[in-house]
Structure 1
């Protein structure tokens, strides 16, 4: 999987790329007869609301989405889409971090944007912490997105203490590694190796 493909998978949904997830089947579904509400919706919401705070953020976002569904919109299919989206986002976040570390090498260095923005966002979501509204601006500031936003919200949570310590150690090590900007040309030695 190429670096660009992986970044596309992790990209947050935005109006600019929403057309990528829309398919012909979405318009076909609107013509199908209305599916009845799931009879165990209330029990499902009660169980889902007990989700642990350290669960991936996508599960809490999914819960809020499911709660906002109106009567007549709570079908098994609709709820399945919400759950599938939460599962996919959790898996994509884990795979993004794993991929970045597994493929890091001189030929495929971890970029500044990865360390300042993308990896902190992925780790924060994995720990159940929502990103700030100004994540792109915070990534450019000192102390930065990881130290300025995620650590203060997680460091004193006993349930996350070990995970935060490991993630913080990784982030501190990454900050000391020589990285390239994504637009910085490769050195002559790197070009020769390719």
Structure 2
């Protein structure tokens, strides 16, 4: 299944990301992780605004009985959380960054469903907010923004709201070409929020104290299956989020 990632459409992109997550899993039984209690004490200190996948992984790990707390099992939970976070970040990059679709030789079209549901939901997940049970009109303003309870989150949610409003203007009035650079600039501002001190400090402490849980990926097998260009690009997103540089 070797395909040039630059010729892959958005639907194929999602399929490849799903396959990447699946093939990143490691199999094999092992004794319980000796530092499990220490890990859980640290894990529960993560910022509330971390991607929802980290909170769900924490809940899954907390429910593991003795005898089911192996290092491979925990690494699968970490890989899944990390990859789901990456999927949302990469999909937003795919839609919002200037010149990205040109680089991959793909027409970057933002559909109505992207604007009304998919993009707001991705922003919400990245900020640790679970999706509503049912589809909601104007979901960002009516559902997500009221969940912002701190001054910091109000500011971040306001930044996202500005992005979504600019997208509405581009789609309905001016065209995306007219607002693309402004969108890219505002999205860079949002990304800087994901690297604020509290998030960066937690990630760095996790890397330093529990390096055995964060195996480097993608593997050689994944590169062979998905294509080097695609895996290199995804890995850059992951490195950016987890690097020590601001």
If the length of structure 2 is used for normalisation, what is the TM-score?
Answer: 0.58
Query: Cα distance 1:20–1:93, how it changes in 2: closer, same or farther (>3 A)?
Result: closer
Q: Find the aligned partners of 2:16 and 2:115 in 1 and give their Cα distance.
A: 18
5+ long unaligned stretches in structure 2: 1-7, 173-246
Who wins on radius of gyration, i.e. which is larger? Answer: 1
Which of 169, 172, 175 is matched with 2:165 structurally? 172
Counterpart check, 1:6 vs 2:13? yes
Counterpart check, 1:130 vs 2:115? no
Asked if structure 2 preserves the Cα contact closer than 8 Å seen for 1:37 and 1:72, the reply is: yes
Which of 155, 168, 171 is matched with 1:162 structurally? 155
Q: Report the equivalent of 1:16.
A: none
Aligned length: 159
Q: CA deviation at 1:70?
A: 1.2
Higher relative CO (Cα under 8 Å, sequence separation at least 6) belongs to 2
Q: What pairs up with 1:93-132 in 2 under 5 angstroms?
A: 93-102=88-97, 103=100, 107-132=107-132
Q: Find the aligned partners of 1:153 and 1:45 in 2 and give their Cα distance.
A: 26
Asked if structure 1 preserves the Cα contact closer than 8 Å seen for 2:21 and 2:80, the reply is: no
Q: Report the equivalent of 2:57.
A: 62
Larger mean Cα displacement after TM superposition, 96-105 or 40-49: 96-105
Divergent runs of 4+, >3 A: 6-11, 19-23
Q: Report the equivalent of 1:44.
A: 39
Root-mean-square deviation (CA, aligned residues, Å) is: 2.8
Q: Deviations over 1:143-192 (max 9, x none)?
A: x21111111112x422323321210100111122226xxxxxxxxxxxxx
Asked if structure 2 preserves the Cα contact closer than 8 Å seen for 1:54 and 1:159, the reply is: no
Asked if structure 2 preserves the Cα contact closer than 8 Å seen for 1:37 and 1:73, the reply is: yes
5+ long unaligned stretches in structure 1: 12-18, 180-194
If the length of structure 1 is used for normalisation, what is the TM-score?
Answer: 0.72
Q: Report the equivalent of 2:140.
A: 146
Asked if structure 1 preserves the Cα contact closer than 8 Å seen for 2:121 and 2:131, the reply is: yes
Q: CA deviation at 1:9?
A: 6.0
Q: Find the aligned partners of 1:2 and 1:63 in 2 and give their Cα distance.
A: 33
Q: Secondary structure at the match of 1:53?
A: coil
Q: Report the equivalent of 1:183.
A: none
Q: CA deviation at 1:8?
A: 4.2
More helix by share: 2
Q: Deviations over 1:60-112 (max 9, x none)?
A: 1110011111111100000000011111111111111111112469x432111
